[in-house]
Structure 1
């Protein structure tokens, strides 16, 4: 397998204390460091640091919302990372969610497919050094040009959960990013995306042999994500609508504990990688055997391992 990514920053390890571990990642067999952007670190700052700490890692965002920065600022930040890590940076963009965009940032969450498409098209031109004046369907740009365009424009990866966005990724992006799926789901995603584009997925990995510990953690995470409309629709498309219906009903009624209890063990075991580190590595390889190009581990605390211990235990070279 050619790629084995890690999500940074790690839970429980302050960003300022990541340097030694990030420097070690290539020797452990990790090829990529990917960030997220929810309510913790922003997506770009950890990568700026990692670009200097580990000058061989591929660095990428998964994902930066297309709503929470203006198009020009998003192009500027992408160009900065591309300059810091020439040929090693991938810009992952996507819609994010109404909670992040609208509830936290006071930006209307409107026309998500069109906004993503328009942002992708703008970024292609801006990162190529063009002067952009364009009336897109969801925003307008007048006379923007990067002061210094990247010598090598970064690839753009598109967050895509269902066929429409997956087809857009296949047509106009360089890769697709998905999330919260089981190995058997990769074929469904590939059928919409096609066989050729790079397919990236963040995999939640809890390295503990205590299945009940892992399932308890996993239930909270699944309830938080799968009750969001876009993820609910994603899993209905993947065939989990019936299995998750009792959880969604309890959640909608305000019964949080009932919602957690309604999530079947089989669903948690499908969507959260857990077991011994060796079992976890084997499970990750099931994804790649089914057509996933780039697994990106998001390490969930468990099993008594500290963040650095877990990274080392889950490394592909172990």
Structure 2
């Protein structure tokens, strides 16, 4: 049996009140992980993580991704520690640069996004380990802070990044890296080379977000995905047809997931488009594990 974790994303466009029931259903179907979204204007990742954790008993819940410019590292560590104390071994804290235009629109644009992410990651991880933190970096300042209730089981801190220097940073400082939707096996292999250049060990997680649509008719599945991938294609500098997706029939989706695992993925998190995402998840899990 594969050791790959199969997860599902609770899409930012879905109504917040639907999260508890979806999380329970995903766990019932056998998903290993559920990831929530923190995008400006859509919803808060810490609150969504808490709701998903409270609704379930087994799955890991990942925060994908807290923008470092928007989240003071002391507060982020406090929030992550609280969740990790209540739900030990089940929370994953994701941090990233955030979308530059969005950060600027709320007055949170750093002078150096790379330094901010590095200093934030170091501070969050040290606080979660129960250390007393004193840092005066170029972007982060913390004066002698120590968490009163650090987690007994320290949660993984993973970085959601794309560019080469940031991938190296993830390898040097984080427990794992989140790969954005649309990137395929060749992208994963290139990313892993940079992550390992940064010093990552074999325990470093590679969590791959993937656009997904599953139907008996492969063309129907592809059509359901098209609106979701246009913006991402532009962001990655590719055409929609060049983006890697987990789509088609359940068997075809399972084969695509296997490609990602062969390229180094430790988790594949499916971001479903189209109707009945829980049904699509169930059919995909059955095809992978059957």
Pairwise TM-score range, normalised by the shorter structure? 0.7 to 0.9
- Would the alpha carbon gap of residues 56 and 264 (structure 1) be closer, same or farther in structure 2, given more than 3 Å must change? closer
User: For residues 216 and 205 of structure 1, what CA distance do their matches in structure 2 show?
Assistant: 9
Q: What is the DSSP-based 3-state SS (H/G/I as helix, E as strand, rest coil) of the residue aligned with 2:193?
A: helix
Q: Given the two structures, how large is their TM-score scaled by the length of structure 2?
A: 0.86
Structure-to-structure mapping, 1:1-318, within 5 angstroms: 1-2=2-3, 3-9=5-11, 11-12=13-14, 14-38=15-39, 39-103=41-105, 105-179=106-180, 180-194=182-196, 196=202, 197-208=204-215, 209=217, 211=219, 214=222, 217-218=225-226, 220-228=227-235, 231-232=236-237, 244=238, 263=239, 265=241, 267=242, 270-301=243-274, 305-315=275-285, 316-317=288-289
Name the SS for the 1:44 alignment partner: helix
**Alignment check: 8 A CA contact 2:233 2:240 kept:** no
Quick check: which has more Rg, 1 or 2? 1
Residue 140 (structure 1) shift: 1.1
Aligned length: 278
Q: TM-score, structure 1 length as denominator? A: 0.79
Question: Structure 2 unaligned runs (5+)?
Answer: none
Corresponding residue of 1:240:
none
Q: Note if contact 2:224-2:273 (Cα within 8 Å) is conserved in structure 1.
A: no
Bigger drift between 189-198 and 168-177 goes to 189-198
> Which SS does the other structure have where 1:201 is aligned?
strand
Distance in structure 2 (CA, Å) of the matches to 1:95 and 1:15:
24
Q: RMSD value over aligned CA atoms?
A: 2.4
1:115-147 deviation digits (Å, cap 9, x = unpaired): 110001111221122232210121211232323
1:292 and 1:192 mapped to 2: Cα distance?
15
Offset of 1:9 from its aligned partner? 5.0
Q: Which runs of 5+ in 1 are unaligned?
A: 233-243, 245-262
The CA deviation at 1:58 is: 1.2
Q: What is the CA distance between 1:314 and its match in structure 2?
A: 2.4
